[in-house]
Amino acid sequence: MTKTILNGIDFYNIFKSGAEIVRLNKESLNRINVFPVRDGDTGTNLAITMGSIADEAVVSEDFDIVIQSMADVALENAKGNSGIIFASFLGGFSSACRNLKTINLEQFSHGAQFAMEHAYAAVSDPIEGTMLTVIREWANYIKFNHESHFIFSELLEAAYKKAYQTLEDTTEMLEVLKKNKVVDSGAKGFVMFLEGINRFIGDFIHGNEKETQSTPIGHTHAKVAFTEHQSLNYRYCTEVLLKDSIKIKQEVEKLIKAMGDSVIVTGNDRLVKIHIHTDHPDLITKVLSEEGYKIYKSKVDDMLLQVQVEAGAKSTIGILTDSIADIDEAQLLMEQIHMIPLALIADDSTYLDKLTATKDNLSSILNHSKQYPTSSQAEVRFIRSKLEWLLGQYEQVVIFSVAKALSGTYTSFEKAIDFFPDQKHRITLVDTKLNSGAQGLVVLRAAKMANAGKHLDEILKQSVSDISNTTILVSLDTFKYAVKSGRVPYRIGRLFVMMKAKPIMSLNREGHGIASGLAFSRAAANMKIYRRVKKVLKKEGISQYSIVHSNNPELAGAYKKLFEELIGFPPVIVTEISAITAIHAGIGSVAIAFTRKG
């Protein structure tokens, strides 16, 4: 391609070629991912970021339309440190090239330089030896050498060679890279992207074409041997998208910088993307919302769980569920159970169940909301991203969904699975027909069986049995929340609220919510539940049970003591319910879920 000028279609095509090389090599990038955290997802994050741009950007001959569209898509869909740095780079390129119908070598040079500066400015504490370093050296080469080249293919081939050499040098720039004898994963991803561009515009091959397409350039593609434990400064990789202008960058950085590290704030005149590693994602969103910022989207990854799985998964079978399953946080980590959060929507802000919407900030969300919060199923894109990573870690993945009758989450799981037509045989989706502590019992037993080395068929057989034999009985303090959330008809609900009725709720065999009893005092409701459990225990026996609650640890403690004496052994789970379940069941609710011996 001997071009001196590129239009929008040209630019889109070369971008797509670069993104495809990253996609082909995402697993090899994951395998060398040791900085800033050994969570093994840099390749996946870059592939998703670049892939979404290639899939969703507007294609036009007008270069301005294409680059602006790419920048917008990148900002909304960027994942992880490297993905957000790349999105910031693309945003800078877009800002520098506004209103250009086509782009020549000089304009491209200006865009590359501004893009590099924009990417550096987005990172609170830039670290050399990363993607930023490679971007800088690539952009500087173009800045100082574009006048000596006459066509894009020549300039970009020479700039690629500079980036490639800089990539090799990153091993000596960071101690963690030197120890593990690898280059930086994000930097290598950017160089692969450049290689894909060169493949398209100049038929340029660095080394052996066949080999490069199947394995990454540079250092060995073998998985890094983790010879030492990595101490994480913070547990959660948190990303928040605000509906605001990048003019608020300094204000936002000041608000959140003390809450974590790896802070990146980037954006445009419409959206602002925040990235931070923190122990308290809910505190980040709480501070932002209380300052009046609207949380458009967010994403949270448990880096500690990812690091543990990268270092050594306990099973070849990955267990994935959604946030409606109530399992103690320590148990999730111990059994390596992966979780997809549902969304809690309050006015113009969206929170992630159990991550940015928790018992610690639910009251704040309720108090600051003009309308009562609602819930929404997990985003297909988020599930797809999680599955992509899980399929790189496990031979099989089993998904346990909240009751299909209660939520569209099951359908979201189905849609996400459709993105992996060649891998469907490795994914099993199960409708638990349950929720809350009952769903948690099924998931926890399945995870323990997987970690004990049980075969997939045996796990699924036990899960089917547990689903049909598990019951939940929920003691609500009031009908008020069920009325507000729309789960109970207004007139009936208001009548019961006026009567101060204490309902007992449960699920039928298909997973629909049903009334299972009514009392006019909490003590009477608790006694009814006790008698139900006692009857089941005597007639069929109970193999396991859980106690869950919504900000009512005192009553949950009383339940634990009462039922441990009755059943003869402690509950396998005692924990808070999800924020989404809490807005329906109400603050103060307590439940027991139990599995009959089958």
| Residue 201: DSSP 8-state | H
Q: Residue 519 domain-assigned?
A: yes
Give domain status of residue 416, yes or no: no
509 and 560: one domain?
A: yes
pLDDT at 379: 87
> Residue 190: what residue type?
F
* 365 and 475 belong to one structural domain: no
Whether 552 maps to a domain, the answer reads yes
294: domain CATH number is 3.30.70.250
| pLDDT by 10s per residue, the chain, length 598 | 678 999 999 999 999 999 999 999 999 999 998 888 887 889 999 999 999 999 999 999 999 999 999 999 999 999 989 999 999 999 999 999 999 999 999 999 999 999 999 999 999 999 999 999 999 999 999 999 999 998 999 999 999 999 999 999 999 999 999 999 999 999 999 999 999 999 888 754 443 343 344 333 443 334 454 444 456 899 999 999 999 999 999 999 999 999 999 999 999 999 999 999 999 999 999 999 999 999 999 999 999 999 999 889 999 999 999 999 999 999 999 999 999 999 999 988 999 999 999 988 888 888 888 888 889 988 898 999 999 999 999 999 999 999 999 999 999 999 999 999 999 999 999 999 999 999 999 999 999 999 999 999 999 999 999 999 999 999 987 656 655 555 555 455 555 555 566 888 899 999 998 878 888 788 999 999 999 999 999 999 999 999 999 999 999 999 999 999 999 999 999 999 999 999 888 889 999 999 999 7
Residue 74 in domain:
yes
Instruction: Tell me: do 32 and 168 sit in the same domain.
Output: yes
Structure pTM?
0.87
80 plus 199 within the same structural domain: yes
Let me know whether 120 and 251 are in one domain. no
315 within a domain of the structure (yes/no): no
**CA 375 from centre of chain:** 17
According to the model, what pLDDT value does residue 389 have?
Answer: 93
Q: How far is CA 325 from the centre of its chain?
A: 17
Do residues 193 and 169 touch, judged by C-beta distance below 8 A?
no
Torsion angle, CA of 162/164/165/170, rounded to 10 degrees?
A: 120
H helical segments located in 8-147: 8-24, 26-31, 42-56, 63-77, 80-96, 105-122, 131-145
Query: Three-state DSSP class for 274?
Result: strand
- For residue 265, the enclosing domain spans 234-308+343-373
87 alpha-carbon distance from chain centroid = 17
Cβ 402 vs Cβ 409: under 8 Å: yes
Q: Would you call 545 helix, strand, or coil by DSSP?
A: strand
* Residue where a domain terminates, one of 373, 388, 422: 373
- For position 368, what pLDDT does the model report? 81
Q: Please choose, from the candidates 329, 326, 324, 350, the residue with its C-alpha nearest in 3D space to the C-alpha of residue 406.
A: 324
Tell whether 17 and 126 lie within a shared domain. Answer: yes
Q: Is residue 294 part of a domain?
A: yes
Cα atoms found within 13 Å of the Cα of residue 210, Cβ hemisphere only: 0
Domain count, the chain: 3
pLDDT for 484 equals 58
* Residues 133 and 193 occupy one common structural domain: yes
Q: How far apart are CA 556 and CA 526, in angstroms?
A: 11
Does one domain contain both 134 and 281?
no
Cis peptide before 36 (omega within 30 of 0): yes
In the three-class reduction of DSSP (H, G, I as helix; E, B as strand; rest coil), residue 328 is classed as: coil
Residue with tokens 């920048």: 71
Q: What is the secondary structure of 436-503 as a DSSP string?
A: HHHHHHHHHHHHHHHHTT--HHHHHHHHHHHHHHEEEEEE-S-SHHHHHTTSS-HHHHHHHHHTT-EE
> If residue 317 lies in a helix (H) or strand (E), which one and from where to where?
strand 317-322
Residue 103 lies in a domain: yes
On whether both 164 and 268 belong to a single domain, the answer is no
Question: Within this chain, do residues 133 and 238 fall inside the same structural domain, yes or no?
Answer: no
385: nearest Cα among 21, 19, 77, 54: 77
Q: Distances in Å between the alpha carbon of 145 and those of 76, 197, 410?
A: 33, 18, 54
332, 356, 373 — which closes off a domain? Answer: 373
- Strand, coil or helix: what is 5? strand
Nearest to 230 by CA among 278, 185, 179: 179
**For 197-271, where are the E strands, in sequence order?**
236-242, 260-267
* Residues facing 275 on adjacent strands: 239, 264
Positive or negative CA dihedral for 35, 41, 46, 52?
Answer: negative
Which CATH number does the domain housing residue 562 bear? 3.30.1180.10
- Examine the domain organization and report whether 253 and 163 are in the same domain: no
Domain at 133, CATH number: 1.25.40.340
> In the chain, what are the helix, strand and coil shares in percent, each to the nearest 5?
50, 20, 30
Specify if 76 maps to a domain.
yes
Same domain membership, residue 105 and residue 197:
yes
SS3 for 370? coil
Helix and strand counts by DSSP (H, E) for the chain? 25, 19
Kindly state the greatest CA–CA separation across the chain: 88
Q: What is the pLDDT of residue 369?
A: 84
Q: Which of 324, 356, 373 is the last residue of a domain?
A: 373
The residues, ordered by sequence, that sit 6+ positions from 489 with a Cβ below 8 Å of its Cβ are none
